[in-house]
Amino acid sequence: MNQGQEYPNWLELPPELTSSILNRLGVMEILESAQKVCRSWRRICKEPLTWSKIDMRNVGHMGGSSHELEKICRHAVERSQGGLVEIEIWHFATHDLLNYIADSSSKLRSLKLAMCYLIENEGLIEVIAKLPLLEVLEVSYCSLSGEPLEPIVPSSCPNQMTLGNNCDDVALAIAESMPGLTRLQLFGNRLTNFGLNAILDRCPNLEYLDLRQCINVDIVGDMERRCYERIKVLRRPNDPVDDYPYGVSDVDEMSEEYYDNYSAASDYSDTGEDLVSRCFG
């Protein structure tokens, strides 16, 4: 920058532009930094538009317990006042939290979950049924297994659940509830070709499909031809995982036992200071 050239005054930006910029930050960056810059930014940080996108990836380093992080996420959703469009959560999502998000966010278009080991089939299916407008769904390394579930899909397809494997419960719920889906990532999911066929049948707008590490899917013959006719970008079960945020070996180390340790301190923060009060006080 030339000597004497003036720096832009960020405080003079129109509020809607500032809100759009802040919307690109993570939740903790907004709460711990941006909203403390000045009164003007604090006011903007409370506006619903700032919270149309909620990013809570890799927030464990903030020193809060999973219980506190869930509280912060609920506060963020509340600030959106029903205007939440995109949300991404790593590690700490629970069934109660996802139901709260779904019940509060009728405009939600994108839901991304990674390494949320407390999320199982039944809870995810319940949430999926509440989000018919969802266009992007990414579920990576969540439990998504367990006992066979009672079918919750509408009675218009009464035989779908009984024809499939319980590994396909989530895939069938996606197929029945999300006709507008354009992007789907089921990294490490246990669905079979039966569930995949249901998704292809009922999600006509699907363009991106990531099935890496989905070892029960066999994309050969008719299934291969069908996928390539329908899907613009297909990531097959054995495709490389270089661009995945965590390497597979790293994810394997984050076992359920690790997650239990991560969330054990549910009533306090290691920092000695309540993280929720620090963010919203």
Mean pLDDT of 92-105: 95
Confidence at 238, pLDDT banded by 50, 70, 90? very high
Run of H or E including 267? none
Mean pLDDT of 112-136: 88
Run of H or E including 138? strand 136-140
SS3 state at 25: coil
| CB-based contacts of 80, cutoff 8 Å, min separation 6 | 48, 51, 52, 54, 104, 105
Distance of CA 134 to the CA centre of its chain: 11
Mean pLDDT of 76-98: 93
pLDDT, averaged across the chain: 78
State what percent of residues in the chain have pLDDT above 70.
69
DSSP state of 8: P
Among 16-20, 44-48, 58-62, 113-117, the range scoring the smallest mean pLDDT is 58-62
Characterise 115 by phi-psi region: left (phi > 0), alpha (psi -120 to 50), beta (else): left
> What is the tens place of the pLDDT at every residue in 32-74?
877 777 787 778 778 888 889 999 987 765 566 888 889 999 9
pLDDT of residue 145: 47
Q: Cβ(73)–Cβ(97) under 8 Å? A: yes
State what percent of residues in the chain have pLDDT above 90.
42
> Whole-model pTM?
0.75
pLDDT at residue 157 greater than cutoff 70: no
**Higher-confidence position of 155 and 128:** 128
Domains of the chain: 50-146+164-278 (3.80.10.10)
pLDDT at residue 252 greater than cutoff 60: no
